[in-house]
Amino acid sequence: MSRPAERVNTPFALRNYVADEWRIPDSTLPHAVCDANTGEPLFRQARSSPEQVEGAIRSALAAHREGAWTRMGGERRAGLLAVVADALEAVVEDMAVFDALLTGVPIARTRSIARVCPASFRAAAQLALEDTTIRREDSFIVERLPLGPSAIAGPWNAPSGIACHKLASALAAGCPVVFKPSEWAPVSGQIIAGAVAGSGLPPGVFQLLHGTGETFAAIVKDERIAAVSLTGGLRAGRSVAGTCARQMKPAQLELGGNNPLLVLPGADMAAAADGVVAALTTLNGQWCRALGRLIVHESLADELIAATMKRLSALRVGLSTDSATEFGPLGHRARKDAVEAAIRDYRALGGTVHRSTPLPKLGGWFVAPALVTGTHTDSALEEVFGPVATVHTFADIDECVALANRAPYGLAAYVFGETNEAVCVARRIEAGTVKVNAVTLFSPHPSAPRPAWKLSGIGDEGTRETFEFFRGTRVVGVPRGTGA
């Protein structure tokens, strides 16, 4: 197998894109970005200087005020977004390979996520064709207009698709963007930037800055940034929300989740076991909609755990860059350490850890999927963000729903059971998306919104929802009459 760095024409040397020029970031950091499969260091993280941050924001603001993009006709803007989509189509495999290498997610999955990139820009191009005037009356008009320079940060676990969804939405709305990819998986962000930079957008409309959360915090706190969209963890989300609240500017935050999977008495046990495995191992458990708590009827728990262990024992574990791999390593050493620490904590609380997946001897960040029985519900309310879930039993449906709604998060949930009963239970769950008798990586439908409840975030995402997030309403009219 050839090394991804040899077969892709994108070096590990990271570059910012500021004021329509490729520039070297100010400095490198001590942390190395590694091959998740072996632990081999590949390159060091990069950091942008305050001067580089200032240059990017100043360039984005100038583009907004000059108005070449903001006031560009929808047909022409859509055409340029389609050019970006075509450019991204040509580098889907490159993004998939690098994302697999750096995040540990099997390449079969990173390919499906990378394919979101051109699809997002094509969907956004259709939205860009819409008239900004959404209502016209005799005495006033209502317009939806771009808010202004926008800050976007992508996560490390699915770095290509999520970033492109946000970028395409902001650009379609008419907003210049300042984009910071994750420092743990920045290469696909670099590839995306290359596609956008070569598409013929007006000067200053797109900026790329490498760096850590500190870099993004500096971008967010600048009052010239009009809107912020982040997918990340709760701590980063709280920091961004606090800054945006003080400045009264909108923030779209998709954060973590400790998602329940409910197995009702009438469930198909084979389907339920398949669902548990999928919810536990998709993206190697490194996704915000992963299984955190398995809530199963007391009469089914032993059978379900046994069926799940049987499936996990046959899981194909190996190099994330191998198309046959079903489960790979975690994204970096700190993530592996955190997941293993969580398992130790559950054991210390009296939990029994169930594992059956053999691991390869590759030296990377591999952790076997685990179900943990015997822990109290109140000890299992926080997100682990890895292939670990606690198991809790219930005697009746009211208890089941109460257990599901116990956590302070509300991103996703899954219900397995007789369809009508499962739908009824699903409608009682405090979560943005509840899937019935299925676990899937993507939404039930491309047009479905992706809401977040409780600590899981602020503001719905979705094809239209994210597009509208980057627009504000303006009413222009001549008042009638002489009254106050």
Is residue 454 annotated as a catalytic residue, yes or no? no
Q: Which residue from 220, 211, 214 is spatially nearest to 47, judged by alpha carbons?
A: 211
Question: What does the pLDDT look like over 406-417, one tens digit per residue?
Answer: 999 999 999 999
417 located within any domain: yes
Same domain? 90 vs 145 = yes
Indicate whether 448 belongs to any domain.
Answer: no
As a whole number of angstroms, the distance between CA 181 and CA 187 comes to 8
Q: What is the pLDDT of residue 356?
A: 98
DSSP state of 166: H
Domain presence at residue 451: no
Return the pLDDT at 13. Answer: 86
Cα–Cα distance for residue pair 188/96, rounded to 1 Å: 8
Asked whether residue 27 falls in the same domain as residue 168, the answer is yes
Radius of gyration for the chain, computed over Cα atoms and rounded to the nearest angstrom: 23
Residue 481, domain member (yes or no): no
Q: Is residue 271 part of a domain?
A: yes
Q: Is 166 a catalytic residue?
A: yes
CA 126/CA 411 separation, integer angstroms = 28
- Based on the domain organization, do 130 and 89 belong to the same domain? yes
Give the span between the Cα atoms of 441 and 235, in whole angstroms. 24
Cα–chain center distance at 282? 13
Pair (241, 281) in one structural domain: no
Q: Are residues 192 and 44 in the same domain?
A: yes
- Would you say residue 449 lies in a domain? no
**Residue-level pLDDT at 444:** 87
Q: Is residue 225 domain-shared with residue 120, that is, in the same domain?
A: yes
If one counts the domains in the chain, the total is 2
480 within a domain of the structure (yes/no) = no
Output the CA torsion sign for 167, 170, 175, 179: negative
What pLDDT score does 446 carry? 82
Which tokens hold the place of 427? 């409608």
Q: Is residue 357 packed enough to be buried (19+ CB in 10 Å), middle (13-18) or exposed (0-12)?
A: buried
| CATH assignment of the domain containing 56 | 3.40.605.10
Which one of the listed residues 166, 249, 336, 435 is annotated catalytic?
Answer: 166
Within this chain, do residues 10 and 104 fall inside the same structural domain, yes or no? Answer: yes
User: 385: domain CATH number?
Assistant: 3.40.309.10
The active-site residue, picked from 254, 336, 400, 435, is: 254
Give tens-digit pLDDT for 353-393.
Answer: 999 999 999 999 999 999 999 999 999 999 999 999 999 99
Based on the fold, state whether residues 178 and 285 are members of the same structural domain: no
Look up 223 and say whether it is catalytic: no
- Among 175, 400, 435, 461, the active-site one is 461
What length does the chain have? 484
In Å, how far are 11, 35, 289, 313, 329 from 368, measured between CA atoms?
A: 32, 18, 19, 10, 9
Q: In whole angstroms, what is the distance from residue 192 CA to residue 198 CA?
A: 10
Q: Mark whether 461 is an active-site residue.
A: yes
Task: Establish if 168 belongs to a structural domain.
Answer: yes
Do 120 and 234 belong to one domain?
Answer: yes
**Segments in the chain below pLDDT 50:** 1-10
**Are 60 and 178 part of one and the same domain?**
yes
The domain in which residue 372 lies consists of 259-436
Among candidate residues 249, 288, 383, 400, the one labeled active-site is 288
Give pTM, 2 decimals. 0.95
Strands (E), 92-205: 133-136, 140-146, 150-153, 177-180
User: What pLDDT is recorded for position 3?
Assistant: 33
267 and 245 assigned to the same domain: no
Query: Distance (Å, rounded) from C-alpha 164 to C-alpha 114?
Result: 9
Q: In a 3-state reduction of DSSP, which class is residue 364? A: coil
Residues 209 and 335 in one domain: no
